[in-house]
Chains A and B, each alone.
Chain A
Amino acid sequence: MKRRDFVGLSALAAGAVFLPNFPGFGGTLVTPERLLESVMDAAVNKRLADAALNAAKSAGASYADVRIGRYLNQSIFTREKQVQNIQSGESFGAGVRVLANGTWGFAATNTVTEAGLAKAAQLAVQIAKANSKVQKEQVKLAPVKGHGEVSWKTPIQQNAFEVPIAQKVELLLAANAKALDNGANFVNSSLFQINEQKYFASTDGSYIDQDVHRIWPTFDVTAIDRASGKFRTRQALSAPMGMGYEYMTPKAAGKIAGPAGTGLVGYKDSYDILEDAALAAKQAKEKITAKSVVPGKYDLVLDPNHLGLTIHESVGHPTELDRVLGYEANYAGTSFATLEWRAKKQPYGSKLVNIVADKLQPGSLGAVGYDDEGVKTKKWDIIKDGVLVDYQKIRDQAAMVGQNESDGCCYADSWSSVQFQRMPNVSLQPGKAKLSVDEMIKNVDKGIYIAGRGSFSIDQQRYNSQFGGTVFYAINKGKIDGMLEDVAYQTNTLEFWNSCAAICDESDYRLFGSFFDGKGQPSQVSAVSHGSATTRFNGVNVINTARKIG
């Protein structure tokens, strides 16, 4: 059977695993049909959850919550003209978290029966009581009123798991063909799809049924010049989204033209992978002969598909309250934005900088109705007119900063992982006055326009960062003036945000996303979006990254 026959015959086929080591989502590999079976029944889950909660209370818990979760994923990988790997995975089980003697305990089980959950609850209480012997301070939970029986679903139009694999494979291979036809030597493309079916219940009286969907198409194109031995890559300019397969259907209204002279297109709530792959191939080739940047101070004009990552690293992470308090010190680090620092009301950025946290934003990766400890989600200010006004909190942190309400930022990447504080969608608000990206560039005398994520690194307290990008264009006297290479900018978070000089308006606003954001020990991943419009930062230090290795 040839590949095309497979594509034609198989509406729901899983493919060969000859090529190794792609990032997996965990769980057990299953036939794709399994992903369409419905095994989560709210009435059954309520009975099971009550068994866990009652067992926890009987064993001595003062509080308990239970998460019964079915986590589905599918990933498709291709290179050039072939399918490399198709994985369909499912993970099903339950995690019980309890407070006993003022100390947390957690246990998980894949035996999702009343007896299995009761046993897990008893074990969680046992662990909590054992740990309480070495604890000095009791956990204080911010109050949450029970929500009763409620539900929430990502507002998708087309469930990606219901789309035949054949159709998805065909699209990725068509994108690869576009790249190869336009001069690429190599192309890898992939499509990640996630569906979290989560049932949460707590002794507060909440029974919450949620159905969360995420999708991420992406590719990497490489062009090689054999004579010089140079090679360059260009990544997709898609964003992972909290959407269904409708994201893969290009819509004219979802496209935003990049600056004149670049040919770039920004994608809002739909993605044209064929168009982007063709342009990527041309740009990867162009990068081989692009001018190497002259280091110095430049005014940077940053596309949302680049700036999202800067927001993530320099605002999202440092305003996580668990980092501020020291819980992440051994791994990802702490934060410069300490409680004392915030009390001084030191400017985080210029007055133009308004950054909001929002767990409700349509299309975003972090959108849910309720977090993983039953808190109804909301939108709130993190930075207002350039000043840090709040952090991201969960129930056991609110009291530590003199507040009595969680922000709904609790998340676990699996039923078997304990939930903890994770970043909500954190986004820069667009400018209020009308301003297009071309108008913004018109006012830049010596600058660089950057799109795409590229290389990124920031210190453990989130001061010093270095960011690269996918494509770079010189801006000379108000105009795009050819492609640049070897560009990275180094900055300090506070200097960077204080150099923010202009933000395009709402019409340029788009989401960027991080699909596998890591944190915690053992490490867990979460997905989160960052919105912005194209933004200008004045006088940023740009270095040249070209080196010789002999």
Chain B
Amino acid sequence: MAILSKEEAQAILTKVLSYSKADECEVTLNGRTGGNVRSARNAISTAGAVDNVSLAVESRFGKRSGVATCNEFDEATLRRCVQRAEEIARLAPESPEYVPYLGAQKYLAPSPAAFAAATANITPDYRAQQTAASMKLCEQKKLSSAGFLNDEAGFIAKRNSKGLEAYQQITNLEYSVTVRTPDGTGSGYATADYNDASKFDAARLTQIAADKAAASVGAKAIEPGKYTVILEPAALVANTDASLLAALMNALDARNADEGRSFLSKKGGGNRKGEKLFDERVTIYSDPLNAEIPTLTFSGDGRPQQKMTWIEKGVVKNLYTTRFWAQKAGIPDIPRPGGWIMEGGTQSVQDMIKGTEKGILVTRLWYIRPVDPQTLLYTGLTRDGTFYIENGKIKHPVKNFRFNESPIIMLNNLEAIGKPQRVGGNLVPPLKIRDFTFTSLSDAV
């Protein structure tokens, strides 16, 4: 029963709400079905499947709240779940951050591209075939692949006693592959994600990683320091690790800024919304209806998601916030976006390489960790394909570097912006950055 229709889901939610004796009650159904295959050394290592629907009931008495969940849907279980949430609510302390539930909301009609039948209908055979195609390509080239394929189809439905009603289905497929040379001296990486699995071709992605692996053999050491870099989209956003651009987006929280513990906090109090903090070519927005990265049209707490500009021509335009903080601070009530889009140009990575006199091409960054929240300084390393560019051409592979850099500084040192590509549910352009700070060398391949 993992993918319920709107009518089926709302029928369950309406029934559950009818059992409520609380002052306020909000119920959420969340269902997903999918599977995964993991491979390494050109062989499948593990495979799994998931299929589940769960119900969460939040009951409130005054400013007290309790939550209970269940994943069985007979009447007795549903009644018990409501009863449990109410028991917990009666025992809970009053929350000083209580805000009433939202009433009925107007949501944008979801993009039809958000849910693709091709993804929802994936079979174990399909996963095995895609993985086998990736492994075969590497075997033929005498390379070794390690990959991970994961697909999901799901829905979320909400309803509350104030009249709020929401429902949407969504699908996603992601694949990543690391290809290494048998002697361990070369490594390449590629990743992609889609709502629609019909766009996916494991062999095509593996070819990119394989080419990088083969080309990265014989890396030379060059001195760490400040370099012009071309950061590919996977080096700016990752779905397996922290990342520089995601760190910036994660920092656009109004409360942290107002409380004085963010790079957006202003000396003496207040926040830096409205200030130009980045190069004027930096514009980042979100749009749940974007055809390439369609997302949910409502947030977790039921607020409508709409097209929203976060940074425009280098100026911080909006910060997201909880409903409590919006009311307390008297600021716009904006939810955190599901995905975001950085505007770019039309240049491919190859075009950007052609226009580079001296620089370094970075495929992927790794083990990215915050060093200083005050300046949003992060550290991490290059990985799986790092190349030296000279006179518009890749001249040779280079050993990996450790960087210490802040996305704020980075987005003030912009040389060029390429064509955005989808990564981790966002649209991210490759960026050419001057004076990117590499602080040491790594022998890792």
On A, residues with C-beta under 8 Å from B are: 1-3, 6-7, 9-10, 13-20, 28-31, 82-83, 104, 106, 127, 130-131, 134-137, 185-186, 222, 224, 226-231, 233, 325-331, 333-334, 336, 338, 418, 420, 455-464, 466, 468, 486, 488, 490, 492, 520-522, 541, 543, 545-550
Contact B91 A10 (CB under 8 A): yes
- Chain B CB within 10 A, most for which of A19, A490, A521: A521
On B, residues with C-beta under 8 Å from A are: 36, 38, 40-41, 43-48, 54, 56, 58, 64-71, 84, 87-89, 91-98, 124, 128, 132, 135, 144, 146-148, 150, 176-178, 180, 184, 187, 189, 240, 259-261, 263, 265-269, 277, 300-301, 322, 324, 366-377, 379-381, 383, 400, 402, 404, 406, 408-409, 412, 439-445
- Chain A CB within 10 A, most for which of B38, B150, B187: B38
| With known contacts A6-B93, A457-B368, A545–B404 Cβ distance under 8 A | yes
Contact A20 B379 (CB under 8 A): no
Contact B144 A326 (CB under 8 A): yes
Closest CB in chain A relative to B435 CB, distance in Å: 12
| With known contacts A10-B91, A547-B377, A549-B409, A28–B265 Cβ distance under 8 A | no
> Would you list 30 pairs from A and B whose C-beta atoms are within 8 A, ordered by A residue?
A1-B64, A2-B94, A16-B66, A17-B67, A18-B95, A20-B301, A30-B68, A82-B93, A130-B124, A131-B47, A226-B268, A229-B268, A326-B146, A327-B40, A328-B40, A329-B144, A330-B148, A333-B366, A455-B370, A458-B367, A459-B366, A461-B445, A464-B444, A466-B371, A468-B371, A488-B379, A490-B402, A521-B36, A522-B48, A546-B375
Contact partner of A131 (CB less than 8 A), chosen from B44, B84, B98, B404, is B44
- Chain A residues, Cβ within 8 Å of B409: 547, 549
| With known contacts A106-B48, A127-B47, A460-B444, A549–B322 Cβ distance under 8 A | no
Contact B444 A229 (CB under 8 A): no
- Chain A residues, Cβ within 8 Å of B44: 131, 134-135
Contact B148 A331 (CB under 8 A): yes
| With known contacts A329-B146, A549-B263, A13–B91 Cβ distance under 8 A | yes
A136-B42 Cα distance, complex, nearest whole Å: 10
- Chain A residues, Cβ within 8 Å of B128: 130-131, 134
Contact A456 B369 (CB under 8 A): yes
A222-B260 Cα distance, complex, nearest whole Å: 10
- Chain B residues, Cβ within 8 Å of A30: 68, 84
Closest CB in chain A relative to B208 CB, distance in Å: 14
In the A-B complex, the 7 residue pairs with the smallest Cβ-Cβ separation, listed nearest first, are A461-B444, A464-B442, A13-B91, A229-B267, A329-B146, A459-B444, A330-B146
Chain B, residue nearest A340 (CB): B184
Contact A521 B369 (CB under 8 A): no
- Chain A residues, Cβ within 8 Å of B269: 226
| With known contacts A326-B146, A457-B367, A338–B184 Cβ distance under 8 A | yes
Contact A231 B148 (CB under 8 A): no
A28-B404 Cα distance, complex, nearest whole Å: 40
A384-B304 Cα distance, complex, nearest whole Å: 60
Contact B180 A329 (CB under 8 A): yes
- Chain A residues, Cβ within 8 Å of B184: 334, 338
Interface of A, secondary structure class, is: loop
Contact B366 A16 (CB under 8 A): no
- Chain A residues, Cβ within 8 Å of B240: 331
- Chain B residues, Cβ within 8 Å of A461: 442-445
Contact partner of B400 (CB less than 8 A), chosen from A13, A82, A331, A459, is A459
Closest CB in chain A relative to B278 CB, distance in Å: 10
Closest CB in chain A relative to B412 CB, distance in Å: 7
Contact B92 A13 (CB under 8 A): yes
A546-B67 Cα distance, complex, nearest whole Å: 43
A83-B48 Cα distance, complex, nearest whole Å: 38
Contact B380 A457 (CB under 8 A): yes
A456-B371 Cα distance, complex, nearest whole Å: 8
Contact partner of A9 (CB less than 8 A), chosen from B54, B91, B96, B379, is B91
A231-B266 Cα distance, complex, nearest whole Å: 12
Closest CB in chain B relative to A185 CB, distance in Å: 7
Closest CB in chain B relative to A58 CB, distance in Å: 22
Closest CB in chain B relative to A258 CB, distance in Å: 24
- Chain A residues, Cβ within 8 Å of B43: 134-137
| With known contacts A106-B48, A543-B439, A16–B150 Cβ distance under 8 A | no
Contact partner of A455 (CB less than 8 A), chosen from B58, B379, B441, is B379
| With known contacts A16-B64, A457-B367, A336–B48 Cβ distance under 8 A | no
A226-B408 Cα distance, complex, nearest whole Å: 21
Contact B93 A3 (CB under 8 A): yes
A1-B406 Cα distance, complex, nearest whole Å: 46
Chain B, residue nearest A4 (CB): B93
- Chain B residues, Cβ within 8 Å of A137: 43
A38-B54 Cα distance, complex, nearest whole Å: 24
